[in-house]
Amino acid sequence: MQTNKIISILLILGLFCGFCTYEFIRKSEKQIINIISPSIIELHNETICIPEVETFTADLSKNQTELEQKYNISHEDAIKLGYLTDNFAEDFLSGKTAKIKYTGEQNQNCKFGDIYVQKQSYREHLINAGFANNFTTQLEKARKLKLVILNHKSNKFHKLDCKYGITAHDAIILPQRQLQKDSKPCKFCHIEKSTQPKTYPLAISNGNIKMYLTDLTLTLKPDNKCKSLVCQELLGLINSAENSIDIALYGWGQVPNIYNALLKAKQRGVKIRIAYDISKNNYYPDTKMLLQLSEEKKGDTPQILMHNKFFIIDNKKLFTGSMNFSPTGLSGFNSNCVFSINSPEIAQIYKAEFEQMLNGKFHGSKMKLQSKTVKLADAKITPLFSPKDKAITSNIIPLINNAKHYIYIPAFIITHDEFSNALIRAHKRNVRIKIIVDATNSHNPRSKVKTLRQAGIPVKIENYAGKMHSKTILIDDKYLIAGSMNFSNSGENKNDENCLIIESERFTRYCREFFEYLWNKIPYKQYIRAESKDSIGSCSDGIDNNYDGKIDMQDEACH
């Protein structure tokens, strides 16, 4: 008995000592807050200068003339080297916690010391990679970069040696391929005709199905003018309605052309019914205005999302996809994948789901509909609805498991464990996988970005003002999966969602080519802040991109 008591005491003491050791180690690490330059790093409560290193930066506010002369490097090459060095520092340090090995020296601006991330010396990596003190190994690579200075305020771009670009107050260095379509060349430094960045057609049809893509790299500020192809399509469907318009929506942001078209439809006798989300975190206060047009309406429960986004017109046409019905969606500011389908059979399947919600059956209280595949011209469509269809585990993962050539995914967020594991298994059997995710959710604690990258899967984080709001999977030029459902446990098992599995070489190849177009425009960076100079246009779009209550220049990262 006495022996057992001693063992228990020793066990408790051991656990206590282990906890104290863990707390000591945890508290000895400090969060990296900001990278002022590749050699000056801001951590919690202090600034660290990396000792005995000289580095370039692409920060135009820094005078590097003395360093350029010392190493006999032109101003243009110095900025290009700085661009590479800034990216290296971001990849190594951003969002990390670190330990500091101090030298004991300090000046009025900082303490000197090396930063260790996961026991790796930042200083050693900086020097060994050729970004400090000796630049020979990186200079040739830097000279191949086609960089410009973009002035966010004027939307003009300049050559790296242009005095008007260098003195701009709201400027960023970026590859020329990332310029938006309406960027204008500075007339003083671009004497020759500027080559506009490549654009991509944003609509395709097989007669029964129209698919619309929106390009977040070209629309840097949302509006409510309804000029985009996808908004014009929805407007046309509403104007054509004769009897009924059924709407399932996560939220409504006022777009006058669409609202007025619905009002006129109601005035000519079209019956409007709405199923909508009432969760406490919903970002769409204008939904109340839209509900005034409906003859019948029903909201879900506050705890779980009604995340569908679809219109059913006259029980024969369907408009659905990842896009919310708001200025950020309908203007093309966010990247979305949307379908307009002329098929009474598909419309009736969606109507059966809609009727359940309108009768107060949301989420787990709904009945599972019988799965059905409908052939429309050269495409086969299978609609699926969350949470009853278990779309990811029962339908999508088997397609991933059978993939042979490639899987490309533009996604708002990926947090689903089994989904991520299936991708890793596919990668291990040499299926080519590429993923683009939204910046807002890339560092979500549940995000699988780090896990996928550690497994060797290339994951890029979009660096534009708008959201990567697509929830799309492309497999082997054969399967296109798209809809409202995020690749998350909630998307599959809790929320009301819909998605389409489309078997079509035409549509999948089209989406794959668009994905590759985006992939080539978006750089690989370890960490992107959604509202910062890292994210093109986010500091001047009038939107709270990272939901922190601060807009544009109110956000510290935009300075």
Query: Could you list the residue range(s) of the whole structural domain that residue 183 is in?
Result: 150-197
- Per the CB < 8 A criterion, the answer to whether 191 and 185 are in contact is no
- Per the CB < 8 A criterion, the answer to whether 308 and 248 are in contact is yes
Least confident segment among 89-103, 308-322, 403-417, 464-478: 89-103
Q: Token match 């135009």: residue?
A: 60
Instruction: Assess if residue 527 is contained within a domain.
Output: no
Residue 401 has a CB neighbour count (10 Å cut-off) of 12
Instruction: Assess if residue 69 is contained within a domain.
Output: yes
* Residue 229 shares a structural domain with residue 215: yes
Q: What are phi and psi of 146, to 5 degrees?
A: -105, 85
Element (H, E) at 472: strand 472-475
Residue 170 has pLDDT above 80, yes or no: no
* Residue 279 shares a structural domain with residue 328: yes
* Residue 136 shares a structural domain with residue 183: no
**What is the model's pTM?**
0.76
Whole-angstrom Cα distance, residue 345 to residue 436?
A: 33
* Residue 81 shares a structural domain with residue 173: no
In sequence order, the β-bridge partners of residue 435 are: 409, 459
- Per the CB < 8 A criterion, the answer to whether 39 and 64 are in contact is no
Instruction: Return the DSSP state at 177.
Output: G
* Residue 161 shares a structural domain with residue 133: no
For residue 398, the model assigns a pLDDT of 98
In sequence order, the β-bridge partners of residue 150 are: 157, 172
* Residue 241 token pair: 């309605």
* Residue 211 shares a structural domain with residue 186: no
For residue 518, the model assigns a pLDDT of 95
Percent of the chain past pLDDT 70, that is, above it, reads 92
Residue 169 has pLDDT above 70, yes or no: no
Whole-angstrom Cα distance, residue 239 to residue 438?
A: 34
* Residue 166 shares a structural domain with residue 256: no
For residue 27, the model assigns a pLDDT of 46
* Residue 359 shares a structural domain with residue 506: yes
Tens digits of residue pLDDT in 136-164 = 889 889 888 999 888 877 888 888 888 77
CA count, 13 A, side-chain hemisphere, 20: 6
Q: Degrees (nearest 5) of the Cα angle 507, 333, 453?
A: 70
Residue 74 has pLDDT above 80, yes or no: yes
* Residue 304 shares a structural domain with residue 249: yes
- Chain-centre distance for alpha carbon 466: 8
Residue 488 has pLDDT above 70, yes or no: yes
Count of domains observed in the chain: 3
Residue 507 has pLDDT above 60, yes or no: yes
List Cα–Cα distances, 455 to 338, 426, 452, in angstroms: 31, 11, 5
* Residue 370 shares a structural domain with residue 318: yes
Whole-angstrom Cα distance, residue 133 to residue 135?
A: 6
The CATH number of residue 72's host domain is 2.40.50
Residue 271 has a CB neighbour count (10 Å cut-off) of 14
For residue 389, the model assigns a pLDDT of 97
List Cα–Cα distances, 461 to 38, 148, 453, 523, 526, in angstroms: 21, 21, 12, 8, 8
Residue 355 has pLDDT above 70, yes or no: yes
Instruction: Assess if residue 10 is contained within a domain.
Output: no
The CATH number of residue 472's host domain is 3.30.870.10
Least confident segment among 199-203, 249-253, 467-471: 199-203
List Cα–Cα distances, 171 to 219, 418, 533, in angstroms: 18, 42, 8
Element (H, E) at 2: helix 2-28
What does pLDDT average to over the chain? 90
In sequence order, the β-bridge partners of residue 500 are: 383, 482
* Residue 313 shares a structural domain with residue 192: no
